[in-house]
Amino acid sequence: MSKKNLILVIIVFGLLIGTYNSLFFVEQRIQAIVLQFGEPIKVIREPGLNYKIPFAQNVIKFDKRILLFDNNAEEIIAADKKRLIVDAFVRYSIVDPLKYYQTVRFENALNNRLGSVVNNSLRAVLGRVPLNAVISDRREVLMEEVTSLVSVRASQFGIKIQEVRIKKADLPSENSEAIYRRMQTERQQEAAQIRAVGEEKSRVIKAEAEKNKTVILAEAKRDGEILRGEGDAEKNKILGEAFSQDPDFFSFYRAMQAYSKALTEGDTTMVLSPNGEFFEYFSDAEGND
């Protein structure tokens, strides 16, 4: 190859390298800053092919999309002096790439500074309400207040805060164990109270049942005595009417009852006169013994 051709090849190769280094493409989801010797000179927000001076200028690109910042868990002390471990996250977007570059430049630096802002805002809002408010339905309102506070402070970084949310809120392990023991004691006391009330009601019911039983038995005995007396009266009335129709038979019947009771086998021996009234019906029809 001749010296002239070699020079031509070198020139062409240099032009290609220069062209390659001078053109850059910005995607739809990207925004860029053109730097010249480290100083920003132009912000590119629209997608397309762009030009820069080779070697003198360079390009830094930033994402337009909504980004996620996962904050480290932080201990918050509520208004009632109870401790809470809060794990929060932030959704944000870079709306001013120039200010973002001038204040934080890189994501790691933003994480440190934004984390500090988030933690301070959480303490400011959650630190003036009791623990129950943080874990209740009021959390939504509280987090809107935190989001508003973080948005104001984070605007200096060229970012827009979409939302701040609590991913998890837990009590410290020692608090959790203490609360568990307290809840266990409360449940045991509640169970003992319910058991005592049940036993008291059981005694009242049993006493009432015994009372009703005694009353019912007394009334039944009274009614039985009344019925028995009425029955005996009716029996005596019927017997009286029957015996009045035949007095001799009545006397005979009464004598048979007396013999049945007096002459039971094994009883003590009785010595009576055979001519007495007791043995009247032991004589034959002619009056012989």
Q: How confident is the model at residue 243 (pLDDT cuts 50, 70, 90)?
A: confident
* 126 within 8 A of 142, measured Cβ to Cβ: yes
Quick one: tokens of 140? 């939504």
Using one digit for the tens of pLDDT, what is the confidence trace for 166-191?
888 877 766 556 666 778 888 888 88
Task: Look up the pTM and report it.
Answer: 0.55
Q: How confident is the model at residue 136 (pLDDT cuts 50, 70, 90)?
A: confident
Q: How confident is the model at residue 216 (pLDDT cuts 50, 70, 90)?
A: very high
Residue 285: its pLDDT value, please? 45
Residue 19: its pLDDT value, please? 64
Question: Which residues touch 283 (CB under 8 Å, ≥6 apart)?
Answer: 289
User: What is the SS3 assignment for 234?
Assistant: helix
Within its chain, how far is the Cα of 77 from the centroid? 24
Return the higher-pLDDT residue of 262 and 139: 139
Q: How confident is the model at residue 99 (pLDDT cuts 50, 70, 90)?
A: very high
Cα dihedral sign, 229-230-234-237: positive
Q: How confident is the model at residue 93 (pLDDT cuts 50, 70, 90)?
A: very high
Rg (CA), the chain: 57
Residues carrying CATH 3.30.479.30, the chain: 67-176
**In 109-125, which positions are buried (b, 16+ CB within 10 angstroms) versus exposed (e)?**
ebbebbbebbbebbbeb
Average pLDDT for 155-174: 85
Q: Which residue has the tokens 């008291």?
A: 200
Residue 66: its pLDDT value, please? 92
CA distance 124 to 129: 10
Domain 67-176 has CATH 1.10.8.60: no
Using one digit for the tens of pLDDT, what is the confidence trace for 4-40?
666 666 666 665 665 666 788 888 899 999 998 888 8
What's the mean per-residue pLDDT of the chain?
Answer: 81
> Residue 69 forms beta bridges with which residues?
90
For 197, counting Cβ atoms within 10 Å of its Cβ (0-12 exposed, 13-18 middle, 19+ buried), the class is: exposed
Residue 266: its pLDDT value, please? 61
Question: Which residues touch 220 (CB under 8 Å, ≥6 apart)?
Answer: none
* 110 within 8 A of 154, measured Cβ to Cβ: no
Residue 289: its pLDDT value, please? 47
User: By mean pLDDT, which of 48-62, 63-77, 81-95, 268-282 is the weakest?
Assistant: 268-282
CA distance 217 to 185: 47
Kindly report the number of other CB atoms within 10 A of residue 275's CB atom.
Answer: 10
Average pLDDT for 65-87: 87
Q: How confident is the model at residue 273 (pLDDT cuts 50, 70, 90)?
A: low
